[in-house]
């Protein structure tokens, strides 16, 4: 199958958000992500529609009950968003999970991304949330699409581990969190109260939704007004700030620890 | 001044490690990094030899007692390692700090990078270490050069805030840390003991040098044998691991908190 084959042409549209939303599908690229997609498929969490693989990659695949399309290197590269395509891409169904559904099991730790612009950052936060044991990640407002190729890759499979839901209505996402019994805590570099003090006071031991804002502008006023608290990661040295992923790691792990060791 | 001017040609050699080591100089690019370099210059911590600025950037500069070379957009781009050059580059003296000198003030928190390959990761760890209040960052073994353009940029100025020293002899760096009264703790995804448990037991309250290994291979055996402890960041969910920068953030902040709140 070449890059001009209709299947490849159709799949290539999934490298753009409009194409993903229209088709209700997305792409996961590389052996690690595809392996995780297939595991989620087997577990019934995600449906993998088909695989595109170069001959070399197809030879390594074990039968997963999913159609495999053998493609040229060039066709595989046309579906890739990396500099060095691995020649293996899964075409997956977009999960239609709503925030309320993602929170149905009432997880005690949740991450909300609200206005995050960079797909690599968003994917890394999904990975960190998964590592810290969060039960869901919610993409709210005009946050980048979690199914963007770079976001999928940065999540290193975590996108397939826990429920991820999108809703452009940011306040509806916050309401769903509250409905699920979560305390809404915003990460805000300008907050007067800091994470370590809140942790020592035992305020992180309960069910918590951490809300992370845009890399450039933080959280907007109307969102801040809805939160139960805002906390900053304390800066003990000369740095102006942390980047989004490292700040999220410190916040989510502070909650994970508090819920297990003081909760 | 064009990209063919000898000053620009000489400065361009600093975009490569061999060129930096030969000349004893490095480049810092963009208004944020240049601003921090000039502040460090004024404070006597780093010497800025000269600035290269496009006309537009030169117009915005206030006199900092440093020669300014006005260059064409193309010349500025030739000194840049970014996709969208900002037209402002500082040529700085490489600090000749040794690990022992960097530790002379006996800081209670230090980060050691040992075999870290990606300059963006290395720079981000410098930023995180600065934020967490570390007193020095040591680049040991065949870790990427901290003065690599991408590392300088990822550090967002933190490279100019705290002593950074390099030594290819990794064991000598560990010995210098021990000499400075630091407990050597390695971050190791395979360690049997975890960070949160060690924190609860109060083991992070004392002076600590955190040792971070290669993204792909972690810490080598001969280094592990020298350490007082190894700890893993606990993975509570389905993720296989954290990336280097987020793991370093969690570790360094755990120490920062323990030293302040339980120490």
ipTM of the complex: 0.93
Averaged pLDDT, A110-133: 97
Give the start-to-end residue ranges of the domains of chain A: 6-93, 99-261
B251 to chain A: nearest residue by CA?
A250
pLDDT, tens only, B58-90: 999 888 789 999 999 999 999 998 878 889 999
**Contact between A61 and A53 (Cβ < 8 Å):** yes
Q: Which fold has domain A6-93?
A: 60s Ribosomal Protein L30; Chain: A; (3.30.1330)
* Average pLDDT over all residues of chain B: 94
Closest partner CB to A239 (pick from B127, B236, B238): B127
- Chain B interface mutation, best of A236, A241, A256, highest count of B Cβ atoms under 10 Å: A236
Q: Which two tokens stand for residue B9?
A: 């040609």
pLDDT, tens only, A155-177: 999 999 999 999 999 999 999 99
Instruction: Please report which helix (H) or strand (E) contains residue A154, including its range.
Output: helix A149-154
Band (pLDDT 50/70/90 cuts) for residue A200 is confident
Name residues whose C-beta falls within 8 Å of residue A46's C-beta, 6 or more positions apart in sequence. Answer: A37, A40, A92, A93, A95, A160
pLDDT, tens only, B192-221: 999 999 988 999 999 999 999 999 999 999
pLDDT greater than 70 at residue B103 = yes
Strands A25-29 and A88-93: antiparallel
For chain B, the residues whose C-beta falls within 8 A of a C-beta of chain A are 124, 127-134, 156-158, 161-162, 196, 199-200, 233-243, 245-250, 253-254, 256-257, 260-261
How far apart CA A71 and CA B258 sit, in angstroms, is 54
Closest partner CB to A246 (pick from B238, B245, B257): B245
pLDDT greater than 80 at residue A254 = yes
Reference B147, options B138, B134, B159, B130; nearest CA is B159
**Contact between A189 and A164 (Cβ < 8 Å):** no
pLDDT > 90 in chain B, percent: 88
Q: How confident is the model at residue B262, as a pLDDT?
A: 59
pLDDT, tens only, A8-55: 999 999 999 999 999 999 999 998 899 999 999 999 989 999 999 999
Classify residue B133 by burial, with Cβ atoms within 10 Å: 0-12, 13-18, 19+.
buried
Closest partner CB to B162 (pick from A129, A156, A238): A238
Give the position of tokens 């007082």. Answer: B228
- Whether residue A156 and residue B239 make contact (CB cut-off 8 A), yes or no, is yes
Classify residue B202 by burial, with Cβ atoms within 10 Å: 0-12, 13-18, 19+.
exposed
Q: How far is A227 from chain B (nearest CA, A)?
A: 24
B80-100 in b/e form (b: 16+ CB < 10 A) is beeeebbbbbbbbebbebbbb
CATH 3.40.1280.10 for domain B99-261: yes
Q: How confident is the model at residue A263, as a pLDDT?
A: 39
Averaged pLDDT, B145-153: 94
- Whether residue B124 and residue A200 make contact (CB cut-off 8 A), yes or no, is no
How far apart CA B80 and CA B76 sit, in angstroms, is 6
Name residues whose C-beta falls within 8 Å of residue B144's C-beta, 6 or more positions apart in sequence. Answer: B116, B117, B118, B119, B122, B151
pLDDT, tens only, A48-76: 999 999 999 999 888 878 999 999 999 99
Q: How far is A241 from chain B (nearest CA, A)?
A: 7
pLDDT greater than 80 at residue B155 = yes
pLDDT greater than 50 at residue B263 = no
How far apart CA A149 and CA A154 sit, in angstroms, is 9
How far apart CA B64 and CA B48 sit, in angstroms, is 10
Residue numbers in B near A246 (CB within 8 A): 124, 127-128, 131, 245-246, 248-249
| φ/ψ (deg, to 5) at A187 | -85, 120
Averaged pLDDT, B235-252: 96
How far apart CA A48 and CA A43 sit, in angstroms, is 11
């Amino acid at each position: 199958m070449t890059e001009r084959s209709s299947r490849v042409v159709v799949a290539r549209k999934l490298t753009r958000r409009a194409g993903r939303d229209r088709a209700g599908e997305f792409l996961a690229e590389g052996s690690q992500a595809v392996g995780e997609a297939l595991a989620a498929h087997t577990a019934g969490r995600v449906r993998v529609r088909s695989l595109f693989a170069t001959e070399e990659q197809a030879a390594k695949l074990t039968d997963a009950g999913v159609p495999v399309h053998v493609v040229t290197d060039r066709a595989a590269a046309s579906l890739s968003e990396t500099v060095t395509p691995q020649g293996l891409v899964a075409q997956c169904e977009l999960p239609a999970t709503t925030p309320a559904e993602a929170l149905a099991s009432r997880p005690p730790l949740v991450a909300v991304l609200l206005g995050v612009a960079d797909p690599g950052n968003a994917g890394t936060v999904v990975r960190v949330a998964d590592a810290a044991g969060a039960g869901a990640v919610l993409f709210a407002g005009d946050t980048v699409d979690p199914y963007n190729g770079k976001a999928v890759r940065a999540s290193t499979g975590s996108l397939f581990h826990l429920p991820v839901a999108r809703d452009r209505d940011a306040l509806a996402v916050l309401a769903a969190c509250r409905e699920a019994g979560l305390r809404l805590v915003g990460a805000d570099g300008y907050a007067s109260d800091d994470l370590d003090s809140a942790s020592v006071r035992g305020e992180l031991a309960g069910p918590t939704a951490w809300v992370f804002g845009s890399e450039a502008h933080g959280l907007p006023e109307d969102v801040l007004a809805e939160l139960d608290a805002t906390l900053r990661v304390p800066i003990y040295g000369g740095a102006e700030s942390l980047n989004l992923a490292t700040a999220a790691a410190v916040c989510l792990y502070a909650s994970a620890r508090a819920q297990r060791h003081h909760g």
